[in-house]
Amino acid sequence: MYTATERMKKIKSTGQMKNYVYYHCGGNKKGVERCSRRNPIRLDDLETQIELLLEEYTILPEFQTWAIEALNRNNDKEIEDRTKIYEMQHKTVVESQTELDNLTKMRYRDLIDDETFVKERDILKDKIARLQAKLRETEGRASKWLDLTEQVFSFACYARKEFVMGDLQRKREIFSALGQNFYIKDGKVFITGNEWFQPIKEAYPEFRAEFERLGLREYSSVEARNVAFQQLILEWGA
């Protein structure tokens, strides 16, 4: 576990005192072998590394706009797919409930014994419960994926700037949102980025390079320039 320590140091060139913040391993946790990597890392070095990590997921505002437009276009298809899945799941729930009702009738008529009834009843109840849980999940599927994806692109567009300008609490929130499995080794920060950021990290550099290349090209007309950029927008949306 890392902790922060503040130290006042005198600057030789000016004679002034300056406050430095260092992060270092707390060590001494009961039952854990003493840490061999206790060299401290300065706060500004730590923040610089985090800023570089954020840079890997940072996109231009134009790309965020295009991505949200593509998401809204695809949202109609998502709703259509969700409706079909919902109808199939609802039909399966109704059929399973009918099976349970028929099983109960069979027991009333002494067509099956108690042991068989209880066994089959419990199986059907468990099946219905799982189906109903999936049904509830499907109900919120369209809005959830759209909201999450919009949040991801918003984060990718503005998180780095907010990290640089934000206070300590805001920096912590942004760093925590970036991923998990944080650790520091030999003065270097490591983190497993959240899976929803990976497509941006992997695909965006190529799109940005193409975007900048198109911006430098000479076009015969404004219309020709717009066509070139529109094609890039469609590829980004895909």
Q: What is the pLDDT of residues 20-49, one digit of tens each?
A: 787 777 666 666 566 665 678 888 888 899
Q: What is the per-residue burial (b if ≥16 Cβ within 10 Å, else e) of 100-110?
A: beebeeebeee
Burial of 86 (0-12, 13-18, 19+ CB in 10 A): middle
Bridge partners (DSSP) listed for residue 189: 184
Percent of the chain at pLDDT exceeding 90: 1
Q: Which of 88, 104, 173 is nearest to 138 (CA)?
A: 88
Q: Which residue has the higher pLDDT, 16 or 1?
A: 16
pLDDT reading at 173 higher than 80: yes
| Residues sharing a CB contact under 8 Å with residue 195, sequence separation 6 or more, in sequence order | none
Task: Note the pLDDT of residue 30.
Answer: 62
Q: What is the mean pLDDT of the chain?
A: 77
Residue 17 — φ and ψ, nearest 5°?
-90, 135
Per mean pLDDT, which of 20-29, 111-120, 181-190, 223-232 is the most reliable?
111-120
Q: How many CB atoms lie within 10 A of CB 88?
A: 11
CA distances from 178 to 44, 111, 140, 172, 207 (A): 19, 60, 24, 10, 22
The letter for the amino acid at 2 is Y
Task: Note the pLDDT of residue 100.
Answer: 87
